[in-house]
Amino acid sequence: MREISVKSILNKKKKRDNWFLDDYTLNPYEGCSFNCQYCYIRGSKYGQNMTDTLAVKINALSLLDRQLAFRVKKNQRGIIALASATDPYLGAEAKYKVTEGMLNLIYKHAFPVLVITKSTLILRDLELLKKIDTSAIHAPDLKGRIDRGVIISFSLSTLDEKLSATLEPGAPPPMTRLETMLKCKEAGFLVGVNCIPALPYISDTEEALEGMIYAATNYGADYILIGGLTLFGNGPADSKTLYFKFLERTFPELIEPYKKLYGSFFTPPEYYRQILEKRSERLCKQYNIRRSILETTTT
Tell me the Cα Rg of the chain: 19
Residues 184-199 as b or e (16 or more Cβ within 10 Å = b): bbeeebbbbbbbbbbb
CA gap 113, 107 in Å, rounded = 9
Low-confidence residues in the chain, pLDDT < 70: 43-52, 295-299
CA gap 260, 279 in Å, rounded = 21
pLDDT of res. 150: 98
CA gap 174, 163 in Å, rounded = 10
pLDDT of res. 83: 86
Q: Count H helices, E strands: the chain?
A: 10, 10
> Could you state, in order of their start, the residue ranges of all structural domains in the chain?
1-155
pLDDT of res. 175: 97
CA gap 204, 106 in Å, rounded = 36
29: CB partners within 8 A, 6+ apart:
54, 55, 56, 57, 83, 86, 88, 90, 92, 93, 98
CA gap 202, 251 in Å, rounded = 9
CA gap 107, 86 in Å, rounded = 21
CA gap 2, 54 in Å, rounded = 7
Helix, strand, coil proportions of the chain in percent (round to 5)? 40, 15, 45
pLDDT of res. 43: 64
